[in-house]
Amino acid sequence: MIDAAEVVASGMNILFVTLDSLRYDTAETALRDGRTPRLAGLLPAGGWERRTTPGTFTLPAHMAFFSGFLPKRPQPNQPPRLWECRPPAFKTVTSGTFVFDAPNLLQGLGQHGYTTVCVGGVTYFSRETPLGSVLPDMFDQDYWEPRFCSPELDSTRHQVDRALQVADEHEGRPLLLFVNVSATHVPHGHYLGDSHDTALSQQAALAYADEHLGRLVTGLTSRDRWLVILCADHGDAYGEDGYHGRGIIHPTVTTVPFALMLC
C-alpha cells in the first residue's frame, strides 16, 4: 500500500497515464510475448494487475478517476483507496489515503501546492466541442493537438515530447502530470497495415507506444521520485459474443490493466 497522504504532503510529483481503450488481455499478452520491453522493465513484480473500470467509455471513466475512484480489484475486499474526497462524518478513512476537501482530485491537489497539467489524446480532451472541454477544464493547464490523436501514427511520441517539456517547465514545483495515450484507441488497424481494428492491432499499437512510455517514465524519474499510475480507462469489444466497441457492459470493456508504483 502506497501512502498517498505522505506522497502529497511531501510534494512528490505524480504521473497519471491512461492508455485509452486498452484491454487487459491485450496488455497482458503483449507483456508475456515480449512486445512491451520498456514497460516490462517498469511494471511491478507480477506485471499488469487485472482491475475493473468504473466507466465503460472515456468520459465517465475519467470523471470517476478524477473524483478519486480508480479501477478496482475484481474481488469482494478492496485495499484502501489511494485518494478520496472528504467523506461524510460517519465514514472512516485510512491514514494513508489522501483526503481532498474539494469537488475533485485536481482541485484538491491544487490546495496543496500542485500544478495540474493534462496532455490530452482522444477528442474528449480536444476542446473541439463543448463536451470536449469538460475534462480539460478540470486542469490548471491542458494541451491537445491533432497529432496527439489516434489517427496519427506517431501520436505517443508527440505526446511524450510535450509531457517531458511540461515537466521541465515545472521543475522544482509539485506537479500532477496527466497523459491520455490515444494510440491504443481506435483506429489502430494501421499499425498492422489494415483498416480493421482488432485485439491484434491494439497489441501492435501498444508495442509502438511502449518505447515512448518508457522514455516518459525514465525521463521523469531520472531526476526526481514520482508516484506513477498506469491504467486503461476501459477496453473495447471486437466482436466477442457479438459485441463491438465500448460503452457496454462486457468483460472486454470492463476489465482493464492497472499498475501503481513509486519510481
31-36 mean pLDDT: 98
Q: How far apart are the first and last CA of the chain?
A: 14
Structure confidence at residue 214 as a pLDDT band (50, 70, 90): very high
Dihedral sign from CA coordinates of 33, 24, 4, 135: positive
pLDDT at 146: 97
Those residues whose C-beta lies under 8 Å from the C-beta of residue 170, and which sit 6 or more positions away, are 115, 117
CB atoms within 10 A of CB 12: 17
pLDDT digits (tens, 9 = 90+) for 129-143: 999 999 999 999 999
Mean pLDDT (the chain) is 97
Q: Using a cut of 0.75, tell me whether the model's pTM lies above it.
A: yes
Whether the predicted pLDDT of 67 surpasses 90 = yes
Structure confidence at residue 91 as a pLDDT band (50, 70, 90): confident
Please choose, from the candidates 263, 194, 252, the residue with its C-alpha nearest in 3D space to the C-alpha of residue 50: 252
Whether the predicted pLDDT of 90 surpasses 90 = no
Half-sphere exposure in the Cβ direction for 174 (13 Å, CA)? 15
Domain ranges within the chain, ordered by starting residue:
4-262
242-258 mean pLDDT: 97
Name the grid cell of 172: 522544482
Q: Does domain 4-262 have CATH number 3.40.50.450?
A: no
pLDDT at 73: 96
Looking at 36-190, list the stretches that DSSP marks H as alpha helix, in order from N- to C-terminal side: 37-40, 58-66, 105-110, 155-169
Structure confidence at residue 89 as a pLDDT band (50, 70, 90): confident
Whether the predicted pLDDT of 18 surpasses 90 = yes
Please choose, from the candidates 223, 221, 233, the residue with its C-alpha nearest in 3D space to the C-alpha of residue 261: 221
Peptide bond preceding 187 in cis form (omega within 30 of 0): yes
121-150 mean pLDDT: 97
96-112 mean pLDDT: 97
pLDDT at 88: 86
